[in-house]
Amino acid sequence: MKRRDFLALAPTQDISRPAVKPMPRYKRAKAGVVLSGLTPYTGAFSAVQAAHLLRRTTFGMSRATVAQFAAMSLDTAVATLLADQPAPAPPVDPATGTTWIGQPRNSAQEGNYYRYLQAWWMGLLVGQGTSIVEKMTLFWHNFLAANYATVGDSRYMYNQIALYRQYAMGNVKALIKAATKDPAMLVFLNGNSNTNTRPNENYGRELLELFTIGKGPEVAAGNYTWYTEQDVQAAARVLTGWQDVNASATTVFTSNRHDTTNKQFSSAFQNTVVTGRSGATAGDLELDDLLTMIFNQAETSRYFCRKLYLWLVSPTIDSTVESEVITPLAAILRQNNYNLKPVIEVLLKSEHFFDAINVGGMIKNPVDFVVGLAQRLPMGIPTSTAQNTYLALNALRSQAAVFEMQLLEPPGVAGWEPYYQAPNYYKLWINSVTLPLRNDHTDRIINNSSAGGFTFNVDVLSYITTLTATPGSAASIVDACIADLFVFDLTANQQAHLVNDIFLGGQSAQVWANEWNLYVQSPTTTRENAIKTRFRTLLRVMLRMAEFQLM
């Protein structure tokens, strides 16, 4: 694997380098009412706002990135995040240095290829740079979910993820059209067995229920406000005839498998009739008609905006948010012919996005958690060979999987539960199984013991001395760690507890200062180890704190 930017961003081992001053932090908000809407945010844009923006649009960020963004205007910062990115090179087989994408299926190697694909994607997340693309690619993976467990072909999954990355902040209608014909999706939701003689409703149903307009209250039997059972059946018939072609991992339309009759939709779609077509172009023409009909409904634009809001801001969509944020965003989406980028731009630059009620109000998903930690700590991800890099990245991937979010394996067609299951939403990431496992993960990382089958090598000395210019002061160390690891300041009591009981272990601050000075004046391995032990003790406790689960 090519050496990626993120490795250059990792702090060096040079402890004599002057440390940056601690980041300023948000003061906690007191109010519990949302009054802000999409009015452009005109307040200060410095490190605290930059950090919030980056937490929500990337997977954690290094201090260097925060500093870089804090020096920008909000306009520049958002423009940087939204800049189009070139497609990354496909994954390679580290044994040969070449890719298997675009080749016929190799069943003997498929198990390995799947692991390489996962590692490759984790590498893109860790090396995300200063772009929202990776966050939005995962958004679509969660939104238009398919999983390897069902699809069973790493080429198909790669193609689907490449499609989602291509349209990460692009045209939603074009994406839905492409996803409908995507080979992985055809396999995952049985589109490939949907024919004129034996219609299979699976994809047609999910297209309406989950992928475009969404399900409203069931106002009568089989009538879900925005569509009906009749529409599901009609949509399924429109979609007949598509199949995947395994040899080339592509899609084919077979006209004699297509239902050529007219498709009558319900009054939810103004009694639209999609005219039955025949011949080689029938599938595309009818699909275009179907999507035009669906995307002409204002509810479709609102549905996408709610999903986006839930991904970037909050799961709490009350009537104020609906009227002040979702409705105007949906109008922007329609005005822009379903191009997503202008919508994201308005949202990220809005008063609402920076409203104190939303800051910190998100539980890190497992990928945020694992990748975010890797962004912060110098974890020593190896670059010697692609094989070694993949091993380390796969370890991170497997740890996220243990916390219930495995890349390429969303549990079902609706994606991961915390993004759709009311009323708990994000809270579903945290329970008595996953929280102790997250705690165990951070312990292992800090202790340099095996995590997910790989032993990382975190340089705690470098981490702390990069954070603070005065490591001889226990209070300064704790303060710097709070600033780097948490969204908000801690209370004076919590801070004192971390300094006195955890870091100093009951000793006086002077004892630590003496120990540090002695080490700086004449460093020995013994002294260095003693110092690292103090740092590790502090970090283990802080990374176990509830505050570290939030972003």
Partner 1 sequence: MKRRDFFKRATPFIALPLAMGGAPVRALSRALAPAGFYEQLAHSDKVLVIIQLSGGNDGINTVIARDQYSAYMNLRSNIALPEASVLPLNDATGLHPAMTGLKELYDDGKLAVVQGVGYPSPNFSHFRATDIWNSASNSNETIQSGWLGRYLQSEYDDYPAGYPNASMPDPLAIQIGSVVSLALQGTEQGMALAIQNPNTFYNLVSGTDITNFDTPPSTHFGELLSFTRQVQLESAAYAGQIKAASDRVKNRFTYPASNSLGDQLKTVARLIAGGLKTKIYVVSIGGFDTHADQVVASDHKIGSHAVLLQRLADAINAFQNDLRMYGIEDRVVGMTFSEFGRRAASNGSLGTDHGTSAPMFVFGKHVAAGVVGANPNLSDLSSGNLKLQIDFRQVYSSIMTGWFGIGQADTDFVMNRSFAYLPLFSTAQSLSMEVMKRHTLARGQSYTYQISTLAEDNTAAAALVNVVDEVATPVSQQVIIAGEDGIASYTTVVPMDKPAGKYKIYFGLPDGFYTFVEVEVR
Residue nearer to partner 1 on the CB measure, 315 or 378 = 315
Residue nearer to partner 1 on the CB measure, 61 or 413 = 413
Residue 493 engages partner 1 in binding (rule: CB under 8 A): yes
| Binding to partner 1, residues 310-349 (CB under 8 A) | 314, 316
Dump the DSSP string for 389-418: HHHHHHHHHHHHHHTT--TT--SSTT--GG
CB of 532 to partner 1, least distance (A): 18
Residue nearer to partner 1 on the CB measure, 225 or 248 = 225
CB of 549 to partner 1, least distance (A): 5
Residue nearer to partner 1 on the CB measure, 109 or 448 = 448
Residue 453 engages partner 1 in binding (rule: CB under 8 A): no
Give the count of residues interacting with partner 1 (CB under 8 A): 75
Residue with tokens 């070694």: 388
Residue 450 engages partner 1 in binding (rule: CB under 8 A): no
Residue nearer to partner 1 on the CB measure, 336 or 494 = 494
The answer to whether 243 touches 195, Cβ cutoff 8 Å, is no
For residue 111, give every residue at least 6 positions away whose Cβ sits within 8 Å of its Cβ, in sequence order, or none.
none
| Of 417, 469, 473, 536, the one binding partner 1 by CB under 8 A | 417
Q: How far is CA 538 from the centre of its chain?
A: 29
Options 1-9, 69-77, 153-161, 436-444: segment touching partner 1 (CB under 8 A)? 436-444
CB of 499 to partner 1, least distance (A): 11
CB of 103 to partner 1, least distance (A): 26
CB of 371 to partner 1, least distance (A): 20
Q: Is the peptide bond before 199 cis (omega within 30 degrees of 0)?
A: no
- Rounded to whole angstroms, the Cα distance separating 136 from 142 reads 10
Strand partners, 223: 220, 228
CB of 22 to partner 1, least distance (A): 20
CA dihedral 81, 548, 483, 551 (to 10 degrees): 30
Residue nearer to partner 1 on the CB measure, 156 or 390 = 156
| Binding to partner 1, residues 32-61 (CB under 8 A) | 32
Residue nearer to partner 1 on the CB measure, 102 or 412 = 412
| Of 42, 335, 431, 508, the one binding partner 1 by CB under 8 A | 431
| Binding to partner 1, residues 343-402 (CB under 8 A) | 356-363
49, 70, 72, 74, 334 from 44: Cα distances, Å: 8, 10, 11, 9, 31
Exposure letters 98-131 (e unless 16+ CB within 10 A, then b): ebbbeeebeeebeebbbbbbbbbbbbbbbbbbbb
* Amino acid in the structure at residue 33: V
CB of 208 to partner 1, least distance (A): 10
In 370-490, the DSSP E strands lie at none
Side-chain-side CA neighbours of 84 within 13 Å: the count stands at 7
Element (H, E) at 274: strand 273-274
Side-chain-side CA neighbours of 383 within 13 Å: the count stands at 12
CB of 28 to partner 1, least distance (A): 5
| Binding to partner 1, residues 209-238 (CB under 8 A) | 209, 215, 217-219, 221-222, 229
| Binding to partner 1, residues 146-205 (CB under 8 A) | 189-190, 193, 195, 197-198, 200-202, 205
CB of 459 to partner 1, least distance (A): 22
**Which of 36, 37, 34, 38 has the alpha carbon at shortest distance from 345?**
38
CB of 120 to partner 1, least distance (A): 26
Options 29-37, 73-81, 129-137, 281-289: segment touching partner 1 (CB under 8 A)? 29-37
CB of 197 to partner 1, least distance (A): 7
Residue nearer to partner 1 on the CB measure, 276 or 411 = 411
| Of 488, 509, 513, 527, the one binding partner 1 by CB under 8 A | 488
| Binding to partner 1, residues 95-114 (CB under 8 A) | none
The answer to whether 189 touches 203, Cβ cutoff 8 Å, is yes
Residue 275 engages partner 1 in binding (rule: CB under 8 A): no
Exposure letters 474-501 (e unless 16+ CB within 10 A, then b): bbbbbbbbbbbbbbbbbeeeeeeebbbe
Q: What string of H, E and C letters represents the secondary structure of 213-258?
A: CCCCCCCECCECCCCEHHHHHHHHHHCCCEEEECCCCEEEECHHHC
**Which of 284, 278, 285 has the alpha carbon at shortest distance from 258?**
278
| Of 61, 330, 370, 413, the one binding partner 1 by CB under 8 A | 413
